[in-house]
Structure formats: structure tokens, C-alpha cells
A and B are shown apart, each in its own frame.
Chain A
Amino acid sequence: MSLHLDLHHQFPDLTLDLRFDAPKGVTALFGASGAGKTTVVNAVAGLLRPDRGKIAVDDWQLMDTTKGHVLPPHKRRIGYVFQEGRLFPHLSVQQNLRYGRWFAGLRGASTQEDRLVEMLGLGDLLHRRPGALSGGEKQRVAIGRALFSQPRLLLMDEPLAALDAPRKAEILPYLERLRDETQVPILYVSHAISEIARLATTVAVLERGQLRRVGPTEEVLSDPSLGHAIGLRDTGALLTGRVIAHHADGLSELAVGQNRLFLPHVDNALGEQLRVRVGAKDVMLSLTRPEGISALNILQSTVTEIRPGRGPGAFVQLSVGEEQMLARLTKRSVDALALQTGMQVYAVVKTVSVARADIGAEAILDTAETD
């Protein structure tokens, strides 16, 4: 399943002009507010009619302005999770969930329905009304409602933005399960890089209505040229590792290629694959293996790219085994160490600089395909 997009739309203050293919999995649309993310999603849903363009999910044509073909929203079979939930206040949770099923011609209960209720933890909420739900519960119901009608594509427009940090932490694992246990491709809009680092398999970076970059999450997040688009303080690459030990002092140990990474304790079982976002500003470089240093993580790596910024800083891209990392240094440090591409360096990462929100389950798309 993949989504093909080719959109042109003129706003008074923004020209939207982009084309890309979103493969299966979670494709994140990332960009500052006003970059045109919601416009793209609304065009896919049919809530906004772009001046020109084509939208298709595989060979299911949603819109092709060259042929004058524009499906109305209710015929597109696309699930849409809005930022504010938008549950129907006059219907119970169960009626909300079943609303779309009825129009999709799906009658009665199904095992898939039970699985969704279980997966999203909605069992105890079914007979309540939206007015009696917490923000996090509402959002879970909204996700369930969008999925119940068996859409061909799921759109999520900042589904966590209206929630506080504990509620976000409550929902993120559900979204990870969604990504790994359903076959529906997801277009996920966010301006929070930590959400994208946890969920996305593909990232499309938008800047003022134009596509800056699209590619696998690991590649995009470790691209030093996107520092400004992503935000200097938010830039950070993804490391993928396997849990190999939980230590008595509250640390968990991950194997990342040949290297070991110590993290604050995670609840995941031994052997599970995790993805960890390491902020570029939290990475220190050393030419020799540092001794007598408090930081627990010292990763042997090779400099693959140095990209000085407009200000005093520079991004250094490193390869750590098969993984990529980013370090943000000052240009002065780059000069002092005489860093060159191809040099061997040691990357130093403090365990406590890795936030719990930056650790998530690795996408397991390929195994999901077989069930």
C-alpha cells in the first residue's frame, strides 16, 4: 500500500507545491506551523480542494484534476484522526466507534473490531459518552473510530498536540502497536520531533509549502543538512538496538552493533528491538578513548560528514557500525580537533541525557506483513 501525492495550491500567503510517494508504514509530515502539513492532509481527506494535483492510494484514484475527477470526502474511505478528537457528543463511545462502519457497509461485530477495542484499551469506555472521557481517552476513541470503518489510509493530524505529557506517554505505545499490528498506511502530521522519531518509518520534511526531503526516518533524522528545518536544538539521530540486560542499579543495556548503550531503565523484555533518539547537542566527541570520565556511553565511530552552520555551530555526522549519529559542536571545536571526514573518533553520550520519551519500540513492519 502506498500513497501518491502531487499537489499544487495557492494560498494568499503560501504556495503549496509538492509531490512524493508515501510507502507503507507511518509517514510523518514534519515542519514548522504554517508549512502546509494540515493542508496536505485535508487535501487527501477531501476537505480541501487543491488547485491542481493527483492523489491516489495504490490504484484507487481519490483525485485527478487533469481528468476533473474529485471524490467527495465520504467516498474516499480514509480514516481521519483530528487534533481535537471531534467525537460526536450525542452518541456513546460504542456508537461513535460504529458510526463509520455503518456507512462502509460493514454490519455487526467482527473479530477485527474486538481486537481494536482491546488494542486501544476501550473495553471499559464503550457505554460512556464523550463528555465523560479524559483527553487521552477521547483521543483513543477517535483513533478507534477512524479505524473501525476499515479505511484504506489513516490520517492523523497532530493527534497528541492537545494532550499533556503524561497523556502523550499513555497514547504513544498504542500508536506503536497500531503501526506494527495493522496494515493500514498512516500519514502522521506533527511538529514534535520526538513523536516522529518514535513512530515514523518515513519522514517528509516540509518547509513553507515545499518538500525539503523525504526518506526513511533514520536517514532523514541523521541528515546534517536538515538541522535548520528540524530545529537546531531538536535535531538528533536514531539508534536501533536490542535490549540485552537490565542492571540492578536501574540501567538497561542495549547492543547497538558492536557498541553497548546504557539507558535509564526501560520496561521492555530482553531481546526486544528499541529505537533511541540521541540529541545531537548531547553528543561529545573525543579523538582518543576518554578515560576517567563519568559518561557511560563511549561509541567508536567514523566521521562521515561535517556541515558548518550559519552561526557558530556545526553538525558532524558519524557512522556507528551500521547506524548514523549526529553531533552538534562549535566550529571552534571542529577546528581544534582538526576533524576530517573518515577520521576515527569516540562519541560520548551521557545516559541521563536520553529522555524516556525518546525511547520507543522499533517498527516491525516486515513481520507484521506475514500475519
Chain B
Amino acid sequence: MDFLSPEEWTAVALSLRVSLWATVLALPLAIAVAWVLARKEFWGKQLLNGVVHLPLILPPVVTGYLLLLTFGRRAPVGAWLYETFGLVLAFRWTGAALAAGIMGFPLMVRAIRLAIEGVDPKLEQAASTLGASKIWVFATVTLPLILPGVIAGAILGFAKAMGEFGATITFVSNIPGATQTLPSAIYAFLQVPGGEASALRLVVISVLIAMGALILSEVLARRAAKRVGGA
């Protein structure tokens, strides 16, 4: 790639890797949480709802700092993860993925919850009378019907992960080649004289990736909706 310098290319590749991991790992949990919020009544439901939405309303820097307090090398969860699995999050790309996943999580949950609420529980009842246990009902009826919502949620989460800056830079800093994602790189280039050209190239890349993701989600969601809509 002549268009990008190796340093710029590293940032793009890292951002894609971080965002993909963040989306893939957060999605199943987001579906589960969305299902619980849409279909179950229980004590503390509003609390769960609030916690899920916290990253959306807190300043990202605060979220990043809270992550540091929880998942830092010497923090309770971080130390346990290191001792048990040898997994280090703070100041590593894995930590960037965690931060990006958490920031995108509420967006995923919202989109998927809306889709689940749109599924008629009577269809699920019908499936159960035909012999499907709860898990099978979910896999064969609910999930196919909410697929457009799941795709929309995943793309939203991915886009959010690509753009995440505040929490990432607080939690994992801005280390070129290790934790410098696209937005961090743009920020860094703008801090040095003569970096505008590099920043501009990355901005173009950002726009292209965002537009590509949006178009892809439209196409996938339309295809899924067509399957569901019949005709």
C-alpha cells in the first residue's frame, strides 16, 4: 500500500482488529441481555437497564478510567485475569477491544431489544406447542426474525468501536503499533507539525470504512427482512 505509510497502515489494521473482536465478543452477550430486558420481568431490571446504558451517558474518559480501576494490572479483576489466564488488558490491544466493546454495547442492546419486542410472543408459543423447547424456539423462530435488528446492532457496535477514542486513550493510552487505533492516530498526527496530510488520509479511510459498513448493513438487513416478510 503506497497510499498509506506503514505507521498509518498499522493504525488502520489495529482498529479493524480491535473493532471486529469487540463486535464478535459483545454480540452474543448483547443478544442475551436484550432478550432478558425485552421478555423478562424481574427485580432489578431497571438497574440492569441503567448499567447497560451507562457507557452511553458517562463521559468516555470516565468509562476509561473506571476500566483502568477494574482491569488494570494491579486492579482486582485485572490481577485475577493475569494470574489465571495470563491475560493483560491495560495498555494492550486487547484492552482497546474491551473498551470498544463496552462503548458499543448499549447501542447493540438497544437495536436488538427493539427487534425482539417486535416479535409476536404468540409465534413462540406456537413453536412450543409444536415441540420446540425454549432454546430451540429461540434458535428457530426468534433469532431468524430478529436478524435484521441483530445486523443493525452489530454494525452500530462496530462503527462505534471504530470511532471510540476517549475510553480507549484513557485505558490503553496511545502507543503506536500497540494501542494506537485510527482515531488515536488522527489525534496524534494533528499534534505534530506536518502531520495534517497523514491525518487527512486516515480521515478518508475512516469515512470509507464507515460508509462501507453502513451499506453492508443495509444490504444484509434488507435481505434478512425479505426472508422474514415473505412474498
Measuring CB to CB, which residues of chain A are less than 8 angstroms from any residue of chain B?
45-47, 72-80, 82, 84, 86, 88-90, 99-100, 102-104, 129-132, 145-146, 149
- Whether, in the assembled complex, B192 has its beta carbon less than 8 Å from a beta carbon of chain A, the answer is no
- Whether, in the assembled complex, B132 has its beta carbon less than 8 Å from a beta carbon of chain A, the answer is yes
- Whether, in the assembled complex, B231 has its beta carbon less than 8 Å from a beta carbon of chain A, the answer is yes
List, in ascending order, chain B residues with CB within 8 A of A146's CB: 129-130
Given A88-B141, A90-B145, are A100 and B130 neighbors across the interface (CB < 8 Å)? Answer: yes
List, in ascending order, chain A residues with CB within 8 A of B144's CB: 90
Given A82-B122, A84-B122, A103-B136, are A89 and B129 neighbors across the interface (CB < 8 Å)? Answer: no
Complex Cα distance, B120 from A54, in Å, reads 30
Q: Is the CB of B125 within 8 A of A47?
A: yes
Given contacts A99-B130, A145-B130, 17 further A-B contacts (CB under 8 A): A46-B128, A46-B129, A73-B128, A74-B128, A74-B130, A74-B133, A77-B131, A80-B126, A82-B126, A88-B123, A88-B126, A88-B127, A102-B131, A131-B229, A132-B231, A146-B130, A149-B130
Q: Is the CB of B230 within 8 A of A86?
A: no
Q: Name the distance in Å between A15's Cβ and chain B's nearest Cβ.
A: 24
Q: Is the CB of A80 within 8 A of B141?
A: no
Closest B residue to A98 using CB positions: B130
Q: Is the CB of A90 within 8 A of B228?
A: yes
- Whether, in the assembled complex, B45 has its beta carbon less than 8 Å from a beta carbon of chain A, the answer is no
- Whether, in the assembled complex, B222 has its beta carbon less than 8 Å from a beta carbon of chain A, the answer is no
Q: Name the distance in Å between B204's Cβ and chain A's nearest Cβ.
A: 39
List, in ascending order, chain B residues with CB within 8 A of A149's CB: 130-131
List, in ascending order, chain B residues with CB within 8 A of A80's CB: 126, 129
- Whether, in the assembled complex, B227 has its beta carbon less than 8 Å from a beta carbon of chain A, the answer is yes
Q: Is the CB of A103 within 8 A of B231?
A: no
Measuring CB to CB, which residues of chain B are less than 8 angstroms from any residue of chain A?
120, 122-123, 125-133, 136-137, 140-141, 144-145, 227-231
Chain B contact surface mostly = helix
When the two chains form the complex, which single residue of B120, B131, B227, B229 contacts A104, counting CB atoms closer than 8 Å? B131
Shortest 5 CB-CB contacts between residues of A and residues of B: A131-B230, A103-B131, A129-B230, A100-B130, A86-B126
Closest B residue to A102 using CB positions: B131
Can you list 11 contacts pairing A with B, beta carbon distance less than 8 Å? A73-B125, A73-B128, A75-B131, A80-B126, A80-B129, A88-B123, A90-B144, A99-B127, A99-B130, A131-B229, A149-B130
When the two chains form the complex, which single residue of A46, A77, A103, A129 contacts B132, counting CB atoms closer than 8 Å? A103
Q: Is the CB of B129 within 8 A of A73?
A: yes
Q: Name the distance in Å between A162's Cβ and chain B's nearest Cβ.
A: 13
Complex Cα distance, B129 from A76, in Å, reads 8
When the two chains form the complex, which single residue of B128, B132, B230 contacts A89, counting CB atoms closer than 8 Å? B230
Q: Is the CB of A132 within 8 A of B230?
A: yes
Q: Name the distance in Å between A141's Cβ and chain B's nearest Cβ.
A: 12
Closest B residue to A80 using CB positions: B129
List, in ascending order, chain A residues with CB within 8 A of B227's CB: 90
Complex Cα distance, B131 from A100, in Å, reads 6
List, in ascending order, chain B residues with CB within 8 A of A103's CB: 130-132, 136
Q: Name the distance in Å between B102's Cβ and chain A's nearest Cβ.
A: 32
Q: Name the distance in Å between B125's Cβ and chain A's nearest Cβ.
A: 6
Q: Which of A73, A130, A131 has the most CB of B within 10 A?
A: A73
Q: Name the distance in Å between B25's Cβ and chain A's nearest Cβ.
A: 27
Q: Is the CB of A131 within 8 A of B231?
A: yes
List, in ascending order, chain A residues with CB within 8 A of B125's CB: 47, 73, 86
